Amino acid sequence: MIEVYFYHLTRRTLEQALPVLLEKSLEREWRVAVQAGDEKRLKKLDDFLWSYDPEKFLPHGTKADGAPETQPIYLTVDNDNPNEADVRFFVLGALAAPAILEPGTTPRTRAVLMFDGNDAGELQAAREEWRKLRDAGCEVVYNQEDEAGRWQEKKREKKT
């Protein structure tokens, strides 16, 4: 089973944190899939990634763009993995367990669930995902921002 990283956003917004992690993934030459909870949020994320920094470019596309298997970063609301992503990000209410535990949709290397610690619903959903994935045999890793905004690993578990 793969490792699943939980990123608890407490200081930065998803819009501040996600592009940095996407850039690092591309630097590692990883293919990426980002799954949002619904089409409206996916469209907003797609629009944001085109304009988040005028000095940078994150190559990405959606099902509407066609040829999803060629996208370095594929944005979706489905549990699919047509670009054979090395890492899958689950954001904006997307649940990780259904995609990770279904054969053929699991990322090659790792999965990342990012959740807003100021949203009680997202926090509760992340806790439930932690339990489901740990109990299914995934190694789950909890990361939280420190005072300086750096990610710190706080907990790592695997059901034995």
Instruction: Say what the pLDDT of residue 159 is.
Output: 80
| Residue 74 CB contacts under 8 Å (≥ 6 apart), including other chains | 31, 32, 33, 34, 60, 61, 62, 68, 82, 83, 85
C-alpha span between 3 and 128 (Å, rounded): 16
User: So what's the pLDDT on residue 148?
Assistant: 87
Q: Quick one: pLDDT at residue 102? A: 87
Task: Identify the CATH homologous superfamily for domain 3-158.
Answer: DNA polymerase III subunit chi (3.40.50.10110)
Whether the model pTM is above 0.85: yes
Write out the chain's pLDDT in tens, 160 residues. 789 999 999 999 999 999 999 999 999 999 999 999 999 999 999 999 999 888 988 999 999 998 999 999 999 999 999 999 999 999 999 999 999 998 888 888 999 999 999 999 999 999 999 999 999 999 999 999 988 889 999 999 998 7
